[in-house]
Structure 1
Amino acid sequence: MSQRNLIILRAGDGSLHPQWQVGATPDFDLFISYYGKQAGRHQADATYYEHRPGPKWSCIGELLASRPELLDRYDAFWFPDDDLAADAHTLNRMFALFHGFGLALAQPALTQDSFYSWDLLLQDPRYVLRHTGFVEVMAPIFSRAALKACLPTFTESRSGWGLDFVWPQLAARGSQRAIAVIDATPVRHTRALGGNLYANNPDLDPRADRADVVTRYQAQRAMVLAPHTCHGGVRLSGLGWWDALKWAWRRKYALHRMRQRRRQGKAEGL
């Protein structure tokens, strides 16, 4: 049976993705886009497979341009780095919370022992999730609509720098509740930042990429959100992630019913 969720992974020889399929039945399909030199490596692990050398984001942009049917087949898309440690149970919960809270753009929090760039993205155990103005290129999750809005940017920065400053404006359409860091499902970033990307692509100029992307989209957008923006979150308050998810679904259903009543009232001239 087809899943609602797709992970598209740019995988090298030492990818940690085998861990992601252990601990529960995966509620996701896996597209491995292998960038190494061993023909067929990891192919047995994948729902879909290709071999495509090059940097992460421009290659994902090219992949999706060549496989547009994927955008209509799935509801949520995760684009993790291949050095994230997690299991299927954690990733299933991550996707469930993403859907349950009606998010457009998110990422799992990083464990406190991870290599990291931004304090904002480290797990805060007090919360199920925190609404933010920023997620990182390391592990973003997109809804279908958000991915379609952001996809043209993927090939505009070979290093990926700058893309995460632009995505909140394109994906969230001004909603502060559409973007979140999901604390209930942390993953561990196991390697130093940028290692394989820059080693395998020495021609990259990340600072120039960031300047180009930010300048281009500042000309079209009122602002680019800074990464240290946080708008509060959903507290655990002694409840588990499943209770929080049920709360989110009840809230989502109540909002849906309220909008239905409003539309019905307008149709009846009330």
Structure 2
Amino acid sequence: MMLEADLALGIVPVRWTLLLLLLGTTTSPIAAAWRRGDISLFFLPAPEAEAVIDRYRSLRMRLVPVLSALAMVLLGFVLGFTFPASMTPNLQCGVLPWSGSGAANSSSSDGSFLGRLWAPLFRNSSSTSNATSGIVNAARRPEGAGRLPPGIVVSESDLHLRRLWGSPTKDAPVRKYLLTMAVGYKERVNVNATVQKMTLDYTYITQFSDKFDVVLFHYDGHTTEWDDEFQWSKEAVHVSARKQTKWWFAKRFLHPSIVAPYDYVFLWDEDLGVENFNAEAYIDIVKKHGLEISQPALDATKGHKAYDVSVKRNSGEMHKTDAGGEKCPDVHQRPCSGFVEVMAPVFSRDAWRCVWHMIQNDLVHGWGLDFNFWRCVDDPEEQFGIVDAQYVVHHGVPTLRDQGNGEKQGSRAKVKDRQYAEMHAFDSRMNNADKELDNSTARSSSSQP
């Protein structure tokens, strides 16, 4: 307002002339007069004053972007000299001054003023960083591999035998399916028949096909005898632990990372008759119907059966429920649907990953698992199936009960008692786990706004 009033009087006082001199160009007449000490031009007529002011405004509009850019460059130089260059590789976030650890933090805090300002704020978040690995890379690596470069980490394996000679790149590839059985030498006839049905290339009767890897879990200590009697045994994996069950072996030797290469895992008993079973035809049916967990149907006319849903039917190549059965008033309940027995289950890779985690380390008989397999698929009534076109006979030989303490009276009965005790223990644990999950979910829901 004062400037406009002065212009109305036709003059520009000294205070405004000085301001214009400071922000004007050094070649203006007023600036030249100032240098000569001539103050006669300090009071100007209104028209000339207006011209000077217009020139100032135009110059200011041109200078503002240039001055802003220069200020940013200057700030960059200040920051560059303030922070040590050694901190830049450890940046975790573009808005933080550094993200190092140990000596790196110490040097940055002591070596610069801004470092000392930032250090108290970010010391805790950066103290766990490793000088040789970034957080992003470490997150991609499995637990225990954080000190290794990601390119060398191998988190999965297999049960495929390899040569001791030749190039590793020319070894036979891992096979697509895995057959595992807990076996005793007394049942070698049944086991031999099962392995031959699964694995042998009948063009070359003594050679494995390229479909199955085989693992035999020996609970009686006899291993080398198999090689003497069966040629295929020399290409199988043999694991021996006396008086142990297939679920004990499975928990310890079939970790999901070990069986990851296999599309399907067959976890079978040793007492099955397989005269009417073809493995590849079975798998074709399983894939066709999208079955994640399955089993071959049981020929109840020749062997043992525990549940009606597992019995062979003649109405098609597979069935999923026991709808209408005498013991199945509710088709949505186990064992009427979403159910297979524990003697001959076949698991997809994804289903086995879940089932393995459900197996209890101390409950070795596996009783009760079959009533909970359904938890490991998205849709139990659609992703479980009994394959009728490929069926087996379950002879029901109680071989494991003979592995009790034979020196004491009634050892077989004690094994059976433990089987039932384990089933009740498993049911109790599952019920408690369900309740704990429900309570946790309820608390989480109630805490949300």
TM-score strictly above 0.5: yes
Is 1:36 paired with 2:247? no
Q: Is the 8 A contact 1:22 1:87 kept in 2?
A: no
Aligned to 1:162: 368
Is 1:176 paired with 2:376? no
Between stretches 79-88 and 175-184, larger displacement belongs to 79-88
Deviations 1:149-169 (CA, angstroms, capped at 9, x unpaired): 010233352122111111112
Aligned to 1:129: 318
Q: 1:127, CA displacement in angstroms? A: 2.2
1:76-155 → structure 2 map (5 Å cutoff): 76-86=264-274, 90-112=278-300, 113-131=302-320, 132-154=337-359, 155=361
Distance in 2 between the 1:218 and 1:127 partners? 36
Deviations 1:122-173 (CA, angstroms, capped at 9, x unpaired): 111212111132111101111111101010233352122111111112x223
Q: 1:12, CA displacement in angstroms? A: 0.9
Aligned to 1:49: 238
Distance in 2 between the 1:174 and 1:217 partners? 20
Deviations 1:213-269 (CA, angstroms, capped at 9, x unpaired): 1121233348xxxxxxxxxxxxxxxxxxxxxxxxxxxxxxxxxxxxxxxxxxxxxxx
Aligned to 1:5: 177
Q: 1:106, CA displacement in angstroms? A: 0.8
Q: For the structure 1 residues 156 and 101, does the alpha-carbon distance in structure 2 shift closer, same or farther, using more than 3 Å as the test?
A: farther
What value does the CA root-mean-square deviation take over the aligned residues? 2.3
Distance in 2 between the 1:166 and 1:75 partners? 22
Aligned to 1:199: 402
Aligned to 1:219: 432
Partner SS, residue 185 of structure 1? strand
Q: 1:88, CA displacement in angstroms? A: 9.2
Q: 1:69, CA displacement in angstroms? A: 4.5
Distance in 2 between the 1:214 and 1:127 partners? 34
Identity %, equivalent residues? 21
Distance in 1 between the 2:193 and 2:263 partners? 23
Distance in 2 between the 1:221 and 1:129 partners? 32
Q: For the structure 1 residues 164 and 173, does the alpha-carbon distance in structure 2 shift closer, same or farther, using more than 3 Å as the test?
A: same
Q: Is the 8 A contact 1:98 1:106 kept in 2?
A: yes
Q: 1:3, CA displacement in angstroms? A: 2.4
Match of 1:59 among 238, 249, 271: 249
Deviations 1:192-215 (CA, angstroms, capped at 9, x unpaired): 4xx111221345411111111112
In terms of fraction of residues, the more helix-rich structure is 2
Instruction: Give the number of the structure with larger relative contact order, counting CA–CA contacts within 8 Å between residues 6 or more apart.
Output: 1
TM-score, normalised to structure 1's length? 0.73
Unpaired stretches in structure 1, ≥5 consecutive residues = 223-270
Aligned to 1:19: 193
Q: Which has the larger radius of gyration?
A: 2
Q: 1:87, CA displacement in angstroms? A: 5.2
Aligned to 1:266: none
Distance in 2 between the 1:166 and 1:139 partners? 15
Q: For the structure 1 residues 52 and 100, does the alpha-carbon distance in structure 2 shift closer, same or farther, using more than 3 Å as the test?
A: farther
Unpaired stretches in structure 2, ≥5 consecutive residues = 1-172, 202-208, 321-336, 405-410, 436-449
Aligned to 1:188: 393
Q: Is the 8 A contact 1:78 1:139 kept in 2?
A: yes
Q: For the structure 1 residues 168 and 41, does the alpha-carbon distance in structure 2 shift closer, same or farther, using more than 3 Å as the test?
A: farther
Query: In the alignment, residue 42 of structure 1 is paired with which amino acid?
Result: W
Q: Is the 8 A contact 1:130 1:180 kept in 2?
A: yes
Deviations 1:96-125 (CA, angstroms, capped at 9, x unpaired): 222222211111111121112112211112
Distance in 1 between the 2:296 and 2:290 partners? 15
Deviations 1:29-71 (CA, angstroms, capped at 9, x unpaired): 2111111232423355243222122122122211124xx5532
